[in-house]
Amino acid sequence: MTVVPLQLPRRLLEFTLDGEPTRVPEGSTILDACRAAGKDIPTLCEGDTLTPKNACRVCVVEVEGARTLAPACSRRAEAGMKVSTDSERARTSRKVVLELLASSTDLSTTPRAAEWIKEYEAKPDRFGPDAARVNETPKIDNDLYVRDLDKCILCYKCVDACGDQWQNTFAISVAGRGFDARISTEHAVALPESACVYCGNCIEVCPTGALSFKSEFDMREAGTWDESAQTETTTICAYCGVGCNLTLHVQENEIVKVTSPHDNPVTHGNLCIKGRFGYQHAQQRG
Amino acid sequence: MDLHFGDSEPTDEERAAVDSLLGPATSAWEGAADRSDVDLRWARGGREARERRDLLLPGLHAVNDRVGWISEGALAYLCRRLTVPPAEAYGVATFYAMFALKPRPAKVLHVCTDLACAGNGSAKLCADLEERMGAAGSVSDGVTWQSSPCLGLCERAPAALLLQAGTPSGTAAAQRDPRLRNTGAPALPVGPNETDEPVRAAADAEVTPIRADLGTADAPNGAVVTPPRAHTNGSSAEPALRRQAFAVIAPATVDTLVDAATAPEDAPEEPSAAMAVPQAGQDGLLLLQRVGVVDPFSIDDYRSHGGYNALRTAFDIGPAGVIREVTDSGLLGRGGAAFPTGRKWQATASQPDRPHYLVCNADESEPGTFKDRVIMEGDPFALIEAMTIAGYATGAHVGYLYLRGEYPRALHRLENALTQARLRGFLGDDVLGQGYAFDIEIRRGAGAYICGEETALFNSIEGFRGEPRSKPPFPAEKGLFGKPTAANNVETLINVLPILTMGAEAYAAIGTENSTGPKLFCVSGNVERPGIYELPFGATLGELLDLAGTPTDIKAILLGGAAGGFVRPDERDIPLTFEGTRAAGTTLGSGVVLVMDDTVGLPRTLLRIAEFFRDESCGQCVPCRVGTVRQEEALHRIKDRTGAAASDDVALLREVGQTMRDASICGLGQTAWNAVESAIDRLGAFK
């Protein structure tokens, strides 16, 4: 059960969403309003525990009178605003953004990417066989997690989670510019030489699987990763007195991954190296 | 913060470079070589150091300027001094084109291959250079060369800029006083040879790092004021061998380039800024009246030509009066967006949050634009005065002048102008005895077009990657350092001077109803008299072209730079006003008028524009980061095709272009397709 903290009541404001009058609490984003109204807007760089970076632009919607489209994840609803989520312009932009992403990066482990590509009739192949790709090989420089930048869409979530929004470790940043920009440590040194503390909070927020547990990466390579055969059990970490919730992902009686519920008021999805990776003792059965 | 600096140590030279900006390290916590007993008891750095994060970019410049590149040890030392995580500093350093993080020679030759230079033989120049000095990026005789985006020297195309890293004299370091931002007042030490009358004969080669202004045509007395270093220790021990130097070579030939690369000190003098103003000295000019007329090194000369009258008027009518005049004048921003300046100032001035900041956007990088450079080189005090007025009106006590990194001569002259203005009480705690404190700090960009976008510029000054922020909130509410900020272009600011001296009504009578005042146009390409022209708004394109003298065989005219659009040579009747160009389906942008014959050919020109946007995209949002790449690829495929063979790719370009325009975060992505679209629709490219 999640504790819902009491807040001062917020005033409601009214605006038009796809022709329907909609009332949302002041301060809500357009995305909040869409979700409350049961509308499914694709999102990638938006994270429920992070400040919207609005970098991926797959959630753009059309606001009447605005010169450009607005990112639903960060634009706040204003009284009297007229928003259409499904206009021709918004759909075209979402489609092309999906095409641009899928033609330059590997979206094979991005949840729902295939579904959106189908829904928007995106054709990533239209840019031809010579279209430039990110072309990175997985960086395996430690025993805990793998960085496969070929799958990275540069959503900045890992940087924000590592930096001032959660962990305050600042081990990674975006380096370079434009199409050559990459998530990197200083001078691209291996993770063990960097400031990384292996909390794994970057993996927790990664929307594409570019960052993954080594256990998951190895099983995917071996073809044994099977999410449908996994169970999830939420328990409490026993390492210290903070009381973080752990969700153990178990396949064939082995823990393959550990996450934390994002709505948990203690962790907000974040853990430390012990909670996230220190589960081997539970599997010592000999 | 889990700071982790690694084991790399800075060399003595790198340490001296950082210390010349920040002062010597006072404790082992900050990277001082010796640990004292006190260091074992109290930690240093922390919040106090973190609040100096904005010195990261000047620190990177200090190392790059002295050594030529930034090593792991140098970056780690700078990070230690400022309590900045090395990963973040690495992200910042790799953002800028002028910084290298791999060893490279002290001398780097930047050869412009952008639009105006391409029309004037830069391709041949590069080919010849390749023969003499090897391929771009290779090292020969301690020099490397690389092609460069527009260097803002379009009137003298083809152009090149040689930068030599080495030890500086005191000028640059002393100007960048780290305390400036906190106190709102300058803490510039007064040197032994500075009296009330600035010493103008101190132009001794020994103490002058930057040679290009000595004895130039527009400054016959070689006026250079050299304040001493803010911090001198560390510098005495270093071997004083190679001096920092630059040479601007324009128009360039392969011989002059090779000569300049061999001995930058002996390169021929750069012509006076007035050479870029064909109208120089004519009556009736308002913005260019002093360029080529006054000595850009002399505040007295500036004053004897009407300088500082506008500031006195401003003090007479008060801040609200200034804003009223500027609003009534109808002045619209000249940087490209044409936002009403009076409204911007009013919005900033009325914010209760303090402090307020003023930012002058002098990061002129739009291909084909060079007006701000000519003003800053030819009439630098005018900009200082205008910034003071803007600061006064908006309630700011500190102004930041964000200057393009590729403008060393403008930097030198502005630094001199600031020093003189401070000495004479035109800047400082008590400007003109009116009880108003104001000072200006120059911040240099480092080769990133995107930093001309105002919120990217704020991030750049603050020591972060120059990535645009999403708006709202707008700068008037949350700008530089999260405080209310008025950000204006150089040309916009200097328009304030005639507004105050002649009055809003007289100013508004110039031009048209919706575009008031005079406008500067940067005319370059295939014209007889390229340069900056000042015309009242409302003149037609044809009138401007007649002034500049166009050959008969022109094929296209690019208005507004790479982010602008092409028009046909027969569209001479387009009125050069904001509303007139809009009605004609094009844009005035920053005032670029680039005239093209068919030497380069339209498809190649479009490809160059697409390359420019691909190189300059910051990479933050997907439509721009990948879209600019796909745009270039498509243009590459169809560069030799027309008709049906090109139609699929033209359709692709349209869709990608529309998405960049609709879904990109900032103006760069939103305009990256403008020129290509106009070439297809207006000029019939690929038909």
Task: Return mean pLDDT, chain A.
Answer: 95
Neighbours of B108 (CB within 10 A): 22
3-state helix, strand, coil in chain A (%, to 5): 30, 20, 55
Query: For B658, which of A92, A153, A186 is closest by C-beta distance?
Result: A92
Q: Tell the CATH topology of B602-683.
A: de novo design (two linked rop proteins) (1.20.1440)
Query: A173 vs chain B: nearest CA distance in angstroms?
Result: 5
Tell me the residue range of the domain where A266 lies.
226-285
Domain count, chain A: 3
Question: Do A125 and A103 meet the contact criterion of CB atoms below 8 Å apart?
Answer: yes
- A104 and A122 both lie in a single domain: yes
Mutation to test the B interface, candidates A103, A160, A177, most B Cβ within 10 Å: A177
- A169 and A119 both lie in a single domain: no
Query: B390 vs chain A: nearest CA distance in angstroms?
Result: 29
Q: What is the pLDDT of residue B26?
A: 86
Q: What is the pLDDT of residue A196?
A: 96
pTM here? Answer: 0.92
- A123 and A140 both lie in a single domain: no
- A71 and A149 both lie in a single domain: no
Query: For A54, which of B95, B448, B470 is closest by C-beta distance?
Result: B470
- A66 and A108 both lie in a single domain: yes
Contact B87 A57 (CB under 8 A): no
Of the candidate CATH numbers 3.10.580.10, 1.10.287.130, 3.90.79.10, 3.10.20.600, the domain formed by B512-597 belongs to 3.10.20.600
Domain termination residue (choose one: A214, A243, A260): A214
d(C-alpha B196, C-alpha B217), whole Å = 26
B6 or A102, which is more confident? A102
CATH architecture label of B107-169+243-268? 3-Layer(aba) Sandwich (3.40)
Q: Which of residues 440-499 of B touch A (CB under 8 A)?
A: 448, 465, 470
- What's the Cα-to-Cα distance from B570 to each of B408, B552, B556, B682, rounded to whole Å? 39, 11, 9, 11
Question: Tokens at residue B236, please?
Answer: 């005495």
Mean pLDDT of A185-202: 96
Contact B665 A55 (CB under 8 A): yes
For residue A283, pLDDT over 90 is answered with no
Question: Tokens at residue A200, please?
Answer: 């794994």
- A123 and A108 both lie in a single domain: yes
Residues of A in contact with B670 (CB under 8 A): 68
- A16 and A125 both lie in a single domain: yes
- The answer to whether the peptide bond before residue A52 is cis (omega within 30 degrees of 0) is no
Q: What is the CATH number of the domain that holds A125?
A: 3.10.20.740
Q: What is the pLDDT of residue B197?
A: 35
Domain presence at residue A3: no
pLDDT in tens, A245-274: 999 999 999 999 999 999 998 899 999 999
Q: Is B6 on the interface with A (CB under 8 A)?
A: yes
Residues of A in contact with B473 (CB under 8 A): none
* Domain boundaries, given as residue ranges, for chain B: 12-95, 107-169+243-268, 275-509, 512-597, 602-683
Q: What is the pLDDT of residue B238?
A: 41
Residues of B in contact with A177 (CB under 8 A): 94-95, 448, 617-619
Q: What is the pLDDT of residue B182?
A: 36
Number of cross-chain residue pairs from A and B with Cβ atoms under 8 Å apart: 166
- A280 and A264 both lie in a single domain: yes
Q: What is the pLDDT of residue B28?
A: 87
Residue in chain A lying closest to B87 (CA): A186
Task: Tell how many helices (H) and how many strands (E) occur in chain B.
Answer: 27, 14
Domain termination residue (choose one: A214, A244, A267): A214
Domain presence at residue A123: yes
Query: For B85, which of A130, A175, A195 is closest by C-beta distance?
Result: A195
Cα four-point dihedral sign B618, B624, B630, B636: negative
- A26 and A95 both lie in a single domain: yes
pLDDT in tens, B406-430: 999 999 999 999 999 999 999 999 9
Mutation to test the A interface, candidates B659, B665, B671, most A Cβ within 10 Å: B659
Residue in chain B lying closest to A72 (CA): B663
Consecutive H or E run containing A235: strand A230-236
Residue in chain A lying closest to B471 (CA): A75
- A63 and A145 both lie in a single domain: no
d(C-alpha B576, C-alpha B559), whole Å = 10
Domain termination residue (choose one: A130, A147, A179): A130
- A171 and A186 both lie in a single domain: yes
Domain presence at residue A189: yes
Q: What is the pLDDT of residue B199?
A: 34
Contact A93 B662 (CB under 8 A): yes
> What is the 3 state secondary structure string of B19-58?
HHHHCCCCCHHHCCCCCCHHHHHCCCCHHHHHCCHHHHHH
Q: What is the pLDDT of residue B20?
A: 94
Q: What is the CATH number of the domain that holds A257?
A: 2.20.25.90
d(C-alpha B349, C-alpha B590), whole Å = 26
Contact A71 B664 (CB under 8 A): no
Contact A57 B627 (CB under 8 A): no
* Of B495, B547, B513, B594, the residue nearest B116 (C-alpha): B594
**Mean pLDDT for each consecutive 10-residue tract of chain B (687 residues)?**
87 95 90 84 80 96 97 96 95 97 95 95 95 92 94 95 85 42 36 34 36 36 36 42 89 94 88 92 94 96 97 97 97 92 97 97 96 97 98 98 96 97 96 96 97 97 96 94 97 98 97 95 95 96 95 92 95 95 94 92 95 97 98 96 94 98 96 97 94
Q: What is the pLDDT of residue B180?
A: 40
Residue in chain A lying closest to B7 (CA): A193
Q: What is the pLDDT of residue A5?
A: 67
* Of B478, B475, B434, the residue nearest B453 (C-alpha): B475
Domain presence at residue A1: no
Question: Do A277 and A268 meet the contact criterion of CB atoms below 8 Å apart?
Answer: no
d(C-alpha A97, C-alpha A111), whole Å = 16
Question: Do A255 and A248 meet the contact criterion of CB atoms below 8 Å apart?
Answer: yes
- A245 and A202 both lie in a single domain: no
Question: Do B407 and B152 meet the contact criterion of CB atoms below 8 Å apart?
Answer: yes
Written out in words, the top-level CATH class of the domain with range B275-509 is: alpha beta
